[in-house]
Amino acid sequence: MSYQNLLVEKKDNVAVVTINRPDKLNALNSETMSELKKVFSELKTDDETYVVIITGSGEKAFVAGADISELNKLDVISGKAFAENGQDIFNLIENLDKPVIAAVNGFALGGGCELALACHIRVASENAKFGQPEVNLGIIPGYGGTQRLARLINSGRAMEYILTGDMIDAAEALRIGLVNKVYPQSELMNKVFEMARKIISKGQQAVRLAVKAVNIADEVPSKEGQHYEASLFSIGCGTEDFKEGTKAFLEKRKPGFKNK
């Protein structure tokens, strides 16, 4: 399938989704959002894709936010639908079950920061800048940012960044746990692929169960989460990969996972 505003490349069980509107710093207009919905719906059932990487085109921006020329037309009714549609699409990404890594190669502002937050792992280049500058426009984050940012970096820090609109540079993002790793821009994609390959070398049944289990950690009380964890753990115990993984350890050899 070809897209107007996305580039999608699949190779060696990795799908790379690149938001491709570099002249608008990859701002998310409604067409790009529908394309993201399409591509992630397709990737969910694509047996050949084990890990998804999402990044932005060019060297300046991951995504500089929702497209402000479209935001400008919203009113009370359409604003609610706009936020709910964006939330649904980002929830689709978060609940893909397969790991999604954000390769943040520049500005990740507003909806761009929220997109990175919906991914399971965030890896940034040294020039990356995060932020929720919606207050500068007279609104608040609407694609899940108030919730995910508060859970990831704590509500006190999230409150500060959302109320001031201040940008967070890569070093600070690393310090506060907003990103997992930071690399020079020239190394970013290689390092992200390295991480993807490491994940791909594991049993994919276990990888997907882990994504599901960790995903709900912020949603439910610990006791309920542990109950869910035990159910997913037991599913893992029924897989061929589990038999192979434990047998390989005991035989002092590398496991040959079949992802079954």
Chain positions contacting ligand COA, by CB under 6 A: 24-25, 27, 64-69, 107, 109-111, 133-134, 136-137
CB of residue 101 to ligand COA, shortest distance in Å: 22
Pick between residue 79 and residue 236 the one whose CB is nearest to ligand COA.
79
Contact 101, 119 (CB under 8 A): yes
**Catalytic position from the list 9, 42, 70, 134:** 134
Pick between residue 105 and residue 204 the one whose CB is nearest to ligand COA.
105
Say how far residue 204 (Cα) sits from the centre of its chain.
Answer: 18
134 is catalytic: yes
Exposure class string for 95-114: b at 16+ Cβ within 10 A, else e: ebbbbbbbbbbbbbbbbbbb
**Catalytic position from the list 94, 114, 224, 229:** 114
d(CA 51, CA 168): 27
Pick between residue 26 and residue 239 the one whose CB is nearest to ligand COA.
26
The token pair that represents 209 in the structure block: 């169960």
114 is catalytic: yes
d(CA 29, CA 48): 29
Q: Annotated active-site positions, please?
A: 114, 134
